Amino acid sequence: MSLGQRPALEPADAELLPDAASSEMDFSEAEEPAPISLDPLVAAARVLFERAEHNLPSERRAASPASYDAAAFADTLRAAAQIPAMQFTLMADWPAATRALLPAVVTDAAAGPAWAPVLAWLLLRDLPCHNCSSELFDHFHLRGVLAEIFTALGLQGDDIWRAAARVRLLLEHGTTPEQTFASPAFWAEPDVRWLCGVNESDGVTWFNKEQFEEMWGWLQLPELVAIAERKLSAGDSNVSVELKIAAAGEFAAEAGFQLDAFLTLWKARTAEPEVAIPAVSGSFAD
């Protein structure tokens, strides 16, 4: 069914979001991901953008861009295709949980579950509405649509809904992970509390260590794509980068995985420029 008939994507419109397990998307080489066919993804994005723009709320339509930039989206996809190789370079020393949700070099059977949320975010983050992607996510009822797509690509059980929730959170909080983690509003969101295992006991709010680290790693995705884009635009395989990955896990452990204690510690430590935040450095070495 067309978006022009109702402000929602039907599960039957699943082809609008790409099949990450397609044989045309081969990420089997760690050192240099094989070329992928971008045409189907770019074409799907164009259709999705046009349908979304047609159904934009009237108050948002004036803020939409003049046209869909197919070349820019193709460049973004090329950059994202570099992420599996980063698992062996930039991300090699990251805690395992922070890498768990990011695309890795895997078999074809595992590619769908790994890539589906990433590609969904890449498509949806540039919907034709200025700074309102998460609003359109709700307006078009995309949580259920993504759940249908993710099921077809191999996700099962709660993992389906967790992946859809992560896409929405990245649309809402995809800029500065440090500021996001310092925000009580972020931690008050039901999806965040579910995904991070937040619970209360004897008046103390706790969170789960592994789920916390998974969220921290997932929020790095926009920066990883940006790093890859800089690498490709520079035409240089040796782009030095530094990300503050170790900090969150260390502060969480120091806080005893108590949310209030972590927020106090995180805001105090990250607000001081003279305090060195532990970081993981790396480069793209061919």
The pLDDT value recorded for residue 162 is 96
Is 69 a domain residue? Answer: yes
pTM given for the model: 0.76
Range of the domain at 16: 9-282
pLDDT at 60 over 50: yes
**Structural contact between residues 243 and 204, judged by C-beta atoms closer than 8 angstroms:** no
Is 256 a domain residue? Answer: yes
Is 201 a domain residue? Answer: yes
pLDDT band at residue 25 under the 50/70/90 scheme: very low
Is 2 a domain residue? Answer: no
Which of 209-213, 232-236, 252-256, 258-262 comes out lowest in average pLDDT?
A: 232-236
**Structural contact between residues 140 and 8, judged by C-beta atoms closer than 8 angstroms:** yes
* 13 or 187: which leads in pLDDT: 187
pLDDT at 278 over 70: no
Is 3 a domain residue? Answer: no
pLDDT digits (tens, 9 = 90+) for 227-236: 888 888 776 5
pLDDT at 256 over 90: yes
Q: How far apart are CA 134 and CA 113, in angstroms?
A: 22
pLDDT digits (tens, 9 = 90+) for 128-168: 665 667 777 888 888 998 898 888 888 899 999 999 999 99
Is 37 a domain residue? Answer: yes
Is 58 a domain residue? Answer: yes
pLDDT at 273 over 70: no
pLDDT band at residue 50 under the 50/70/90 scheme: confident
Mean pLDDT value across residues 46-70: 66
Total structural domains within the chain: 1
Is 1 a domain residue? Answer: no
The pLDDT value recorded for residue 186 is 93
pLDDT digits (tens, 9 = 90+) for 66-106: 566 778 888 888 899 889 988 888 888 888 899 999 988 76
Percent of the chain with pLDDT over 70: 66
The pLDDT value recorded for residue 11 is 41
pLDDT digits (tens, 9 = 90+) for 184-213: 889 999 999 999 999 999 999 999 999 999
